[in-house]
Amino acid sequence: MPETSGRARGWVLPAVTGVASVAFGVGIGELAAAVLAPASGPFVVVGSLLIDLAPPWAKDAAIALFGTADKAALLVGIGLVLVAVAGAAGVLEARRPPWGRVLVGLLGVVGAIAASTRANASMLAIAPSAIAAIGAVVALQLLVRRLPGTDAAAATRPAGATRPAGATRPAGATRPAGATRPAGATRPAGEVDRRRFLGWAGGAAAIGAIAALGGNALQAGSRAVTAIRETITLPRPTASATVPASAELGIAGVAPVVTPNAQFYRIDTALAVPAVDPAGWSLRIHGMVEREVSITWDELIALPLEESVTTLACVSNEVGGGLIGNAVWLGYPIRELLARAVPSADADMVLSRSVDGFTASTPLAVLEDDRNAILAIGMNGDPLPPEHGFPVRMVVPGLYGYVSATKWVVDLEVTRFDAAAAYWTTRGWSERGPIKLQSRIDVPRSGQSLQAGPVTVAGVAWHQHVGIEAVDVQVDDGPWQPATLATAISIDTWVQWRYDWDAPAGTHTLRVRATGADGEVQTSEVQGVVPDGATGLHERAVQLG
């Protein structure tokens, strides 16, 4: 055991060590959350988990006790527990290293677990807690060494500090265990060490506080916009979308026909979700037009808004992948706004731009025909979630998101494909991106334990703005067998399918293939996602006992 442990007497300074280290770690963790994963700060995730876990009586008691300050009280409570555990970790680390660091690491694990239980949690959600724990562990290790009365503290003592001549220890010298400093040298040196230590500990805690405040300031904009979003009541649609009950087969494990917002895939280049206040939002239509058009939020929501159901898909979706989702969108046809601007006859593209500079190139003809290409403000009955483009985004049936679905959209430039290029086009992707005919097996899941006998094979198939005519399933190299289709909501949405399989024992490969309403049969030719979307047949190996 290191020599330090015996001599770090008392518990106050060691406890200060723990508290300062944890303050440092939590501070940088909160800053990391602001940048990497908003709403995943160590404090918030632990608080949210506690709220979810608390039995109703505890919630009632908290509300009775603290009223509307119940959440603030919870955060203060977590803070107090954290200070106590941090203090204990400091004392432990001074006496029984590395157990203090282990305890701090466990706090990080609690934070990471809490973060991963949050709805919508991405892989990044555990990063703030991990960064907080690593920061705190390193700080604890460094600070404990500087506790007065330890060799390291002596070694870090500035040269020329008040000490009787001759008391200077040669660097690296070790003293025999149990040796004490000569009387007279102890006090002044101890006093210097103590001040030095408090400087280090205070510095660590101050850095943590500044980082936390910085993170807080960074998130202020998005919090304000989130609050504004919550006050919005969507206008009633002039045309409502209906989702027939028979569109949902209700098979466990199959993607629901309408994807809940919290489960909807998210893809964009935004490191931090742009915070756009609707009051300051406007959209400008310009370029090759007869007259420029500009529309504000208030003007947009006063227009007759229509509901439509459209399945969005990402060009980066691998065969069988999950970068696809279907929602009921509320919005206004882009064609109507373009008609006000009157595009010139030789224009063939609209370059849409988001507030953060992302651009997408959409064929003008697609935005002018009769499909539901809209400026959307609602998603499944709610204002757009911030990460899905609040307050306004584009939704265009039939095209991959990277050439059509601009979120936080603020600008439409009518132009030509030979005159302008969009964000992904300049990075190796195709300038046009019609969605390819595809199908996916959702159940049985890979690795699911199955018995020989009746097995439900089911999934989804899509070819937006064309529609699905049929889905077939193949077992091993057998004949293609027709699957049963659910009711399609429209040609712009995916459709669920099922195939009732009388499965023999053994290992088998299931394969799915869709046929479009135009007669196109899904190709088995395998192509990667670059430059314009993957092709190939989704297959799944299953084992039946």
Round to whole Å and give the CA distance between 512 and 500: 13
The answer to whether 267 contacts Mo ion (rule: CB under 5 A) is yes
Nearer to ligand MTE, 5 or 430 (CB): 430
| DSSP bridge partners of 475 | 510
Which of the 8 DSSP states describes residue 477?
T
Report the distance separating Cα 363 and Cα 414, nearest Å: 10
Q: Does 281 bind ligand MTE (CB under 6 A)?
A: no
Give 126-150 as a DSSP string. Answer: GHHHHHHHHHHHHHHHHHHHTSTTS
Write the interaction track for ligand MTE spanning residues 154-193; mark x where CB under 6 A is met and - where it is not.
----------------------------------------
Q: Which stretch binds Mo ion (CB under 5 A): 128-136, 170-178, 267-275, 329-337?
A: 267-275
Give least dist CB 288 to ligand MTE, A: 23
- The answer for residues whose C-beta is within 8 angstroms of residue 199's C-beta and 6 or more apart is none
- Name the binder of 378 from ligand MTE, Mo ion, none, CB < 5-8 A by kind: none
Identity of the amino acid at 238? T
Q: Does 197 bind ligand MTE (CB under 6 A)?
A: no
Q: Quick check: helix, strand or coil at residue 75?
A: helix
Question: How many residues bind to Mo ion according to rule CB under 5 A?
Answer: 4
Hey, what are 254's tokens? 């199959």
Looking up tokens 């660097």 gives 171
Pairing of strands 293-296, 282-287: antiparallel
Local structure of 412: helix, strand or coil: strand
Residue 346 has a CB neighbour count (10 Å cut-off) of 7
Question: Minimal CB distance to Mo ion: which residue?
Answer: 314
Q: Is 66 in the site for ligand MTE (CB under 6 A)?
A: no
How would DSSP label each residue in 278-296?
A: GGG-EEEEEESBSS-EEEE
CB of 315 to ligand MTE, least distance (A): 7
Q: Regarding beta strands 282-287 and 409-415, do their DSSP bridges make them parallel or antiparallel, or are they unpaired? A: parallel
Cβ closest to Mo ion, residue 390 vs residue 402: 402
Nearer to ligand MTE, 150 or 310 (CB): 310
Distant-in-sequence, close-in-space partners of 145: CB < 8 Å, separation ≥ 6: 4, 152, 153
Establish if 275 lies at the interface with ligand MTE (CB under 6 A). no
Residues 308-337 touching ligand MTE, rule: CB under 6 A, are 312, 314
| 388: partner contacted, choices Mo ion, ligand MTE, none (Cβ within 5-8 A by kind) | ligand MTE
Scanning 14-22, 160-168, 403-411, 432-440 for contacts with ligand MTE by CB under 6 A, the matching segment is 403-411
Please name the residue that has the structure tokens 């279907």.
326
CA distances from 117 to 46, 113, 273, 386, 461 (A): 10, 6, 21, 20, 30
- The residue of the chain with the least Cβ separation from ligand MTE equals 401
Q: Which of the choices ligand MTE, Mo ion, none does residue 265 contact, using the CB cut-off of 5 to 8 A by kind?
A: ligand MTE
Residue 14 near residue 144, CB atoms below 8 Å: yes
And the tokens for 189?
């040196």
The site string for Mo ion over 293-332 (x = CB under 5 A, - otherwise) reads ---------------------x------------------
Q: How far is the CB of 306 from ligand MTE (least distance, A)?
A: 19
Of the candidate residues 149, 401, 434, 459, the single one contacting ligand MTE (CB under 6 A): 401
Does residue 542 belong to the site contacting ligand MTE (CB under 6 A)?
no
Residue 330 binding: pick among Mo ion, ligand MTE, none (C-beta 5-8 Å cut-off by kind): none
Instruction: Tell me if residue 344 falls in helix, strand or coil.
Output: coil
Q: How many CB atoms neighbour CB 370 within 10 A?
A: 7
Q: H/E element holding 278?
A: none
Span interacting with ligand MTE, options 29-37, 104-112, 222-230, 405-413, rule CB under 6 A:
405-413
Those residues whose C-beta lies under 8 Å from the C-beta of residue 186, and which sit 6 or more positions away, are 180
Phi/psi at 423 (5° precision)? -45, -55
Candidate ranges 119-127, 136-144, 180-188, 406-414; the one touching ligand MTE (CB under 6 A): 406-414
- Show contacts with ligand MTE in window 246-265 (CB under 6 A): 264-265
Compare residues 219 and 406 and give the one whose CB is closer to Mo ion: 406
How far does Cα 63 stand from its chain's mean position? Answer: 31
Contact 297, 278 (CB under 8 A): yes
Residue in 329, 332, 408, 494 binding ligand MTE, rule: CB under 6 A: 408
Stretch that binds Mo ion, among 5-13, 261-269, 389-397, 493-501 (CB under 5 A): 261-269
Is the CB of 139 or the CB of 314 nearer to Mo ion?
314
Q: How far is the CB of 390 from ligand MTE (least distance, A)?
A: 11
Binders of Mo ion in range 370-409 (CB under 5 A): 401-402
Give the shortest CB-268-to-Mo ion separation in angstroms.
8
Residue numbers of the site for ligand MTE (CB under 6 A)? 264-270, 312, 314, 354, 356, 358, 388, 401-402, 405-408
Residue numbers of the site for Mo ion (CB under 5 A)? 267, 314, 401-402
